Structure formats: C-alpha cells, structure tokens
C-alpha cells in the first residue's frame, strides 16, 4: 500500500465506500519501470485493465498508445486525443463498426485469423497474432497462448496470413503474440518469443514484433524485455509491448467498510464491497492483499465476504486480522487493474466512485474524484 492510512480514511469519509483509490505516484512509477526495462519499445496500454479517462489522459500525455478491443475503447482513445499510430485495434471477433472506426482513426489492426484479411479496411496497417500453442502458467481463462484457446493463428499459418495481407494491398507490419495475463512463470515468455523467432526463415525480416503484455506484478521486466528484444532483433523488427495490469494494478486499492461479523463455523467479516465491485477472486480465484485499517484485539482467521446473495461472493479467504468492528475500513490491494473495469451493476448495485491521490499537486487538493458513484437512476437510465 502506497497511500498513507490517514489519507485513505479521509477519502472513505469524503467519498463513501466502496471506493476505488489510485496513487498517482505509483502510476508514474510503474510506467517508469516499464520504460526503464523496455527502452525505446513502443508502449500500448491495454486499456481493458482500467479505462478511466483520467488515467488514459495521463498515459496519453506521457506518450503511451492504446490497445483497444471494442468500439467503446476506441471511443475512449479518441476522447483523450489518441489517433493513428497510437492506437491498436485488437480482438478475435471485431465488428464492422470497429473496422470502420479503426480506419477513420488510422489505427493498426491486429489480425486474429486468416478469414479476417478480406474484412480489413483498404490499405490497413496490420500485425498477425500468433498463438504459440504453449502451456501457460496462469488461470485457464487467461491463458490466451494455449493450443486450445481461440486466439491467433498457428505458427504454420502465420507466414501465409502475412502474404495474404500483402496480396490484399495492406501493410503487413509483422507479428503479435500475447500468451495470457497474470503469468506466473517468466519462462513462458521465453518459450513464446523463442517459437516466434524460429519463424524468421519463413517470414523474412519484419518491421514490428508486438510482444503483448501479461506480465505478473512481480515479474522481472528486464528479463522479459531482454527476451522480447532478442526476438524482435531476429526479425530486424522494432519492439512493441501492450501492458495492462502492470501499469495500473499496484496503484489501485479498493476501500470497503466492515458491515459486521458472524461466526458460523467460519469467521465472516462482512463488508460493503463484493463480487460486483471486485470480481477477480470469484472468477479466477485471484488473491488480493488485504489490509485491515485498524489495530488491536486478538488475531483470528477471517473470510472477507460481500453483500451479494451468492456464496461465491467472497473477496478473500483465511485472512489473519484482529477482530473487525462495524465501520472499520479494509483495503484490498493490487486492485487497480481489472477491478473497477470489471465492476458491474448486478443487484442494481451502483458502481463505486473512484478517486486519485496526488498530494502536493500545485494549487490542488490531495484527492480528485475521477469517477462519480453511480446512482440507481444511472444504473437503469437506458431502460424503458
């Protein structure tokens, strides 16, 4: 946790809970770490991790591009002033609208299957996504480079798809690989980049190798960068990367208040956030660091449970902490990526407010609200 506890308490009082908070210093530090490891590689932020416009504006101002996978994400990229070479259009099932918007913005397309070539707007710039067919050390839902996943073309197909692009009058920039997200073992990257390099004979030199994202938060970025650079140089290519989680996860914390406790065989600490605010524990068995913002009392083992009427609605299990008291705050860490982004309105719950912590900002307050808490009326606004 990077934000002082007193500041967290202030934010919870002022903006209510559940609340997502982000530390601007850690956002900047994460980008600096990426740039220090990857040097001159072009960075495209996978905005699916956290598409908040304030965060996008900061990254845009820092010269970062965006990887977009929907019309909505393209609209966000455009809204913050990105265009042309700063935008990638990706996804396994792009819509007509996404091709058209991508073309209007001058974006680069990531081609996911041979059948997509005739669908591209005329004279597109394109990369071909390759699936290296590897066992990947992450949750099955997140292993995009596994043989059975729906992503990319096979190693055998890739040279043909590059040719098909050229024959159709497009600019075939090169290859793209993204083997998955929250990857635990960095050797997976080595293996994937290695498989791509072996294709050099069939593809000839290429302008770009896009090595995707997927880096775990404790990943050795310098090691991954070294391998990615080696693969790019095998093709004589420029290196591009697409980090999502790494750029925003550690900056974000979900603040939630204790509603009460119950002891029914297990000890439950009931809080005002749950699967609707942070789905990752339920969906992927993800473990987020939990920090109780109170002291004292006997330490016992607690499950942190949310308000939804489903027994899977747990934020964490087996957390050692002192006796919770109603109204006390719990901070759930590493929540800046795929936290707010995946929050939902199931049970007509309003998505939480989000606030940015930036102390010492010239003439400004320490906290800025960067997303208002929804009202029930916001939630049902599109209904007739």
Nearer to ligand LLP, 74 or 321 (CB): 74
Catalytic residue among 156, 309, 381, 384: 309
- Closer Cβ to ligand LLP, 142 or 258, answer by number: 142
269 assigned to active site: no
Closest C-alpha to 343, from 260, 270, 288, 282: 282
Q: Among 108, 124, 131, 181, which residue interacts with ligand LLP (rule: CB under 6 A)? A: 181
* Residues 252, 21 contacting (CB under 8 angstroms): yes
Peptide bond into 18 cis (omega under 30): yes
67 binds ligand LLP (CB under 6 A): yes
Binding segment (CB under 6 A) for ligand LLP, from list 18-26, 212-220, 225-233, 259-267: 212-220
Tokens of 245: 């989680």
In the bound state with ligand LLP, the residue whose beta carbon lies nearer, of 141 and 372, is: 141
CA 312 vs CA 201, 262, 292: distances in Å: 50, 17, 21
CA atoms within 13 A on the CB side of 155: 17
**Residue 35 CB, nearest approach to ligand LLP (Å):** 15
Q: Give alpha helix (H) positions in 71-220.
A: 71-79, 96-105, 158-167, 187-197, 200-203
Residue 345 contacts residue 276 (beta carbons within 8 Å): yes
Integer Cα distance of 89 and 270 in angstroms: 41
36 is written with which tokens? 């220090």
Candidate ranges 29-37, 51-59, 189-197, 213-221; the one touching ligand LLP (CB under 6 A): 213-221
Site for ligand LLP (CB under 6 A): which residue of 31, 46, 239, 269?
Answer: 46
- Report the residue from 102, 132, 214, 306 that binds ligand LLP according to the rule CB under 6 A: 214
Helix and strand element counts for the chain (H, E): 12, 17
Closer Cβ to ligand LLP, 90 or 276, answer by number:
90
In contact, 300 and 267? CB cutoff 8 Å: yes
Lay out the site mask for ligand LLP across 246-265 (x = CB under 6 A, - = otherwise): x-------------------
Taking CB under 6 A as the binding criterion, the range among 3-11, 45-53, 292-300, 375-383 that sits at the site for ligand LLP is 45-53
Q: Out of 23, 98, 112, 242, which residue is the one contacting ligand LLP (CB under 6 A)?
A: 242
Site for ligand LLP in 113-132 (CB under 6 A): none
Which of residues 17, 50, 52, 90 is near ligand LLP by CB under 6 A?
A: 90
Which residue among 21, 30, 34, 49 contacts ligand LLP (CB under 6 A)?
49
Which residue from 260, 266, 277, 246 is spatially nearest to 352, judged by alpha carbons? 277
Would you call 73 helix, strand, or coil by DSSP? helix
Phi-psi label, residue 48: left if phi above 0, alpha if psi -120 to 50, beta otherwise: alpha
- Total residues contacting ligand LLP by CB under 6 A comes to 24
DSSP per position, 304-338: EE-SSSSTT-EEEEEEEEEPP-TT-EEEE-S-TTT
- Can residue 76 be called a binding residue for ligand LLP (CB under 6 A)? no
Shortest Cβ 253–ligand LLP spacing (Å): 16
Residue 73 contacts ligand LLP per CB under 6 A = no
Which residue lies nearer to ligand LLP by CB, 72 or 169? 72
Residues engaged in binding ligand LLP (CB under 6 A):
46, 48-49, 67, 90, 142, 144, 178, 181-182, 212-215, 242-246, 280, 284, 337-338, 342
Catalytic residues: 309
């Amino acid at each position: 946790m990077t934000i002082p506890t007193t500041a967290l308490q202030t934010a919870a009082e002022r903006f209510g809970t559940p609340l997502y908070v982000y530390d601007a210093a850690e956002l900047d530090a994460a980008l600096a770490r990426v740039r220090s490891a990857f040097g001159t590689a072009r960075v495209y932020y996978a905005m699916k991790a956290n598409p908040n416009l304030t965060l996008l504006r900061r990254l845009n101002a820092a010269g970062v591009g965006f990887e977009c996978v929907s019309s909505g994400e393209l609209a966000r990229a455009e809204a913050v002033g990105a265009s042309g070479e700063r935008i990638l259009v990706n996804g396994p099932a792009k819509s007509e609208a996404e091709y058209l918007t991508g073309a209007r913005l001058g974006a680069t397309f990531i081609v996911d299957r041979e059948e997509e070539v005739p669908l591209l707007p005329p004279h597109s710039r394109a990369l071909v996504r390759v699936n290296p067919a590897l066992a990947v050390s992450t949750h099955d839902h997140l292993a995009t480079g596994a043989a059975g996943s729906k992503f990319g073309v096979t190693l055998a197909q890739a040279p043909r798809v590059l040719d098909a692009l050229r024959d159709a009058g497009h600019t075939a920039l090169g290859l793209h690989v993204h083997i998955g997200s929250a990857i635990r073992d960095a050797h997976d990257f080595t293996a994937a980049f290695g498989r791509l390099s072996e294709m050099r004979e069939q593809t000839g030199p290429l302008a770009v190798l896009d090595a995707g994202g997927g880096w775990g938060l404790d990943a050795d970025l310098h090691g991954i960068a070294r391998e990615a650079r080696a693969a790019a140089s095998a093709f004589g290519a420029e290196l591009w990367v697409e980090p999502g989680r790494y750029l925003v996860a550690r900056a974000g914390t979900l603040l939630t208040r204790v509603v009460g406790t119950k002891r029914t065989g297990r000890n439950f600490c009931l809080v005002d956030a749950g699967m609707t605010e942070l789905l990752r524990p339920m969906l992927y068995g993800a473990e987020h660091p939990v920090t109780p913002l109170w002291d004292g009392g006997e330490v016992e083992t607690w499950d942190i449970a949310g308000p939804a009427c489903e027994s899977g609605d747990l934020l964490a299990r087996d957390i050692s902490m002192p006796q919770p008291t109603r109204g006390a705050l719990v901070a759930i860490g590493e929540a800046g990526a795929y936290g707010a982004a995946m929050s939902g309105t199931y049970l007509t719950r309003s998505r939480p407010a989000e606030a940015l912590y930036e102390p010492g900002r010239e003439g400004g307050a320490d906290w800025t609200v960067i997303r208002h808490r929804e009202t029930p009326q916001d939630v049902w606004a599109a209904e007739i």
